[in-house]
Amino acid sequence: MASPSGSWPSPFTASSVAAASPRLDGARFVGEEIWWGESVPDEGGRMSVRSSLCDQVLAAPWNARSRVHEYGGGAWTADADGLLYFVHAADQRVYRTRRDAEPEPLTSAGPAYGGLRLHRGRLLAVREDLSVEPHRRAIVEIPTDGSAADDDAAVTSLVEGPEFFAHPALSPDGTRLAWVQWDGRRMPWDAATLRVRDLASGETTDVPTRAALQPEWLDDTAIVFADDPTGRWTLHRLDLDGVRPRGAAHALDATDADTGYGLWVLGNRWYRPLADGRLVAVRTNGRDEVVVTGADGAERLPLPCDGHVSIEDATGSLVLVTGNGSATASGVWCVDVDTRQVVAVRGGEPVDSAWMPPARPLTVDGLHGTVHAFAYAPANPDAIAPGGERPPYVVLVHGGPTAHVTGAASAAIAFYTSRGIGVLDVNYGGSTGYGRAYRERLRGEWGVVDVDDVIAAARGLVDAGLADPARLAIRGGSAGGWTVLSALARGGTFAAGISRYGVTDLRMLVTDSPDFERHYIDGLVGPLPEAEQLYVERSPLQNADRIDVPVLLLQGGEDRVVPPTQSEAIRDALARRGIDHEYVLYPDEGHGFRRGETIIDSLERELAFLGRVFGFTPQF
């Protein structure tokens, strides 16, 4: 049936998208069960813990979510006997519980905890205390008997200071601690140090690294970690004499791919050692693959997931993996690295290619080099566009900006493509997944390179005859919202823009930014006060008089990363000039929409907005 693009009937309703888009957060082998973290959109985005043998281990109102470094991560762990440890979102205290039991606090109120890790009954965490100046952070050991519930002094600090910490790892004999540390003047993907401490003597050694990630002990004298001295995060082995290196670390892999990416959250795991000495690791070059390496080299595992893969846990020859796929929904998988048997534990359903064809990798020549993107063409087995009509496209701009997209299948993208609206997901310069040189293309050039690259990608679609040049929209959140508004101010390419909690003014952002990102913009634009003129010149708010197309602004009222004042400032600037715009505030949302009702409302508003601007009547 021929009907105008954008108006096709679709089974992908906003409600079905909300129900199909839970966030997965970690997975563990727990006795004979597998546990994983999963958000519940219908319960305000609460993060539950679920089991393969029952439904919920952690039921409402408990919510496993950390706010350490603002973005959290590593908010829960569990032992083999089914004892769950988690950080409760409401008070940031650590609790323990068993299934169907009332959680008991292990820490006192005040500091926030995250990055939980168990080592033979010893519970480690990253702690952050923002109530003192300067703010204090530490790697701590939390008593599991509840003795610190009312006495913070009972929590043992293993290393502390104003710096940032991640990935604590105890040696098998429990005498040495390895961790990653950075001072905050640069982001961890720019420069982070690997440190090793003898816990009895306090002797500490800094291991020469460029941007270390995820130390893991192979035995009492050997560590494996990721580092990128040659421009790709690859695995390295370091042998120690006590806490001192016996020699330089040596690379275990020279592949042109990354094992690791931006350390935004504390719970990511890009590889796991197996008991027999082999390693299971992620390699990323745009998309992910998982390999098992040993004395005979590396062999790829036949997994359906190829995006944002995390190696969550391992026991014997079994490995737990989370991620998303170009042909499957996001999920949790258990893979036997010996037999290659793969079992979907949660999610991972194959998508119907008639409704959701795989994304096509797209590269175009931009002003600053090659630009990588993934294109999703309109797809609906029951509808076609009238002869000669080229479809509208929505160009997606990811946040970060130090992040990346992988061409994953998703109901959120099918919401558009099944209605006849194409989607282009762009990994502009500054994105991870293509090595340090591509990532550092944005250094000093935020608001320039990202804008140039998304425009080049959009024009590449048009030049290939795939998109209607008069019906290109651009959509992004957070740092992606900054690029959306900056591209609209540039003019000439996009006929509409959708900004979700987008950055509009750099000086406001610096004032409002949490500690973790306080100096992020120093590298992206320049330090203050020296670069203040650039802050003014590049901020969309200062260039709002150049925006002359309709804009939809969506904002969370509880956003502490990009507060509502940012969106409201650009709203007021557009209103003064009479520019077509809509502003929607979701009072209970933070930085990123988690509630089912918000996901539904925002998607329906976006579709209605595009229909109004581009002249089609959407079917909801």
Tell me the DSSP string of 236-281: EEEEEETTEESS--EES---SSBS-----SS----EEE-TTS-EEE
Helix or strand holding residue 168 (H, E) = strand 164-170
d(CA 321, CA 302): 12
If pLDDT is split at 50, 70 and 90, which confidence band does 78 have? Answer: very high
What per-residue confidence (pLDDT) applies to 67?
95
Length of the chain: 620
d(CA 530, CA 256): 37
Helix-, strand-, coil-residue percentages of the chain, each rounded to 5:
20, 35, 45
At 479 the three-state DSSP class reads helix
Using the predicted structure, report yes or no on whether residue 21 has a pLDDT greater than 80. Answer: no
Tens digits of per-residue pLDDT, 490-534? 999 999 999 999 999 999 888 888 899 989 999 999 999 999 999
Single out the residue of 601, 599, 597, 596 nearest to residue 582, CA to CA. 601
d(CA 85, CA 78): 6
Question: CB under 8 Å to 255, separation ≥6 — which residues?
Answer: 232, 234, 283, 298
Tens digits of per-residue pLDDT, 572-595? 999 999 999 999 999 999 988 888
Single out the residue of 500, 396, 399 nearest to residue 458, CA to CA. 396
Pairing label, strands 496-500, 472-477: parallel
The mean pLDDT of 237-263, rounded to a whole number, is 93
Is-contact 158 139, C-beta < 8 A?
yes
HEC string of 282-335 equals EEEECEEEEEEEECCEEEECCCCCCEEEEEEEEECCEEEEEEECCCECCEEEEE
Is-contact 440 428, C-beta < 8 A?
no
What per-residue confidence (pLDDT) applies to 367?
97
Is-contact 66 72, C-beta < 8 A?
yes
d(CA 459, CA 466): 10
What per-residue confidence (pLDDT) applies to 45?
87
d(CA 335, CA 318): 6
The mean pLDDT of 75-97, rounded to a whole number, is 97
What per-residue confidence (pLDDT) applies to 58?
95
What per-residue confidence (pLDDT) applies to 411?
93
* Residues 540-551: b if buried by 16+ CB within 10 A, e if exposed: bbbbbeebebbb
Question: CB under 8 Å to 513, separation ≥6 — which residues?
Answer: 520, 521, 561
Tell me the DSSP string of 144-164: TTSTTSS-GGGSEEEEEESSE
d(CA 611, CA 619): 10
Q: What percent of the chain has pLDDT over 90?
A: 88
Single out the residue of 600, 524, 37, 580 nearest to residue 265, CA to CA. 37
Is-contact 394 422, C-beta < 8 A?
yes
Question: CB under 8 Å to 64, separation ≥6 — which residues?
Answer: 25, 37, 47, 48, 49, 58, 75, 76, 86, 87, 88, 89
The mean pLDDT of 284-313, rounded to a whole number, is 93
Is-contact 170 141, C-beta < 8 A?
no
If pLDDT is split at 50, 70 and 90, which confidence band does 116 have? Answer: very high
Tens digits of per-residue pLDDT, 162-210? 999 999 999 999 999 999 999 989 999 999 999 999 999 999 999 999 9
Token pair of 536 as six digits: 């003014």
At 172 the three-state DSSP class reads coil
- Work out the widest C-alpha separation in the chain, in whole angstroms: 77
Using the predicted structure, report yes or no on whether residue 295 has a pLDDT greater than 80. Answer: no
Q: Is 58 left (phi over 0), alpha (psi -120 to 50) or beta?
A: beta
What per-residue confidence (pLDDT) applies to 64?
97
Q: Whole-number mean pLDDT of the chain? A: 94
Side chain identity at residue 324, one-letter code: N
What per-residue confidence (pLDDT) applies to 358?
87
Using the predicted structure, report yes or no on whether residue 20 has a pLDDT greater than 90. Answer: no
Single out the residue of 504, 514, 471, 474 nearest to residue 571, CA to CA. 504
What per-residue confidence (pLDDT) applies to 561?
85
What per-residue confidence (pLDDT) applies to 495?
98
What per-residue confidence (pLDDT) applies to 548?
96
The mean pLDDT of 83-99, rounded to a whole number, is 97
Tens digits of per-residue pLDDT, 589-616? 998 888 889 999 999 999 999 999 999 9
The mean pLDDT of 68-82, rounded to a whole number, is 95
End-to-end CA distance of the chain: 18
Task: From residue 314, give the alpha-carbon distance in Å to each of 318, 335, 508.
Answer: 6, 10, 44
Is-contact 210 189, C-beta < 8 A?
no
**How many C-alpha atoms does 280 have within 13 Å on its Cβ side?**
28
Q: The whole model's pTM is what?
A: 0.94
Tens digits of per-residue pLDDT, 545-572? 999 999 999 999 998 888 999 999 999 9
Q: What percent of the chain has pLDDT over 70?
A: 100
Is-contact 519 185, C-beta < 8 A?
yes
Using the predicted structure, report yes or no on whether residue 159 has a pLDDT greater than 90. Answer: yes
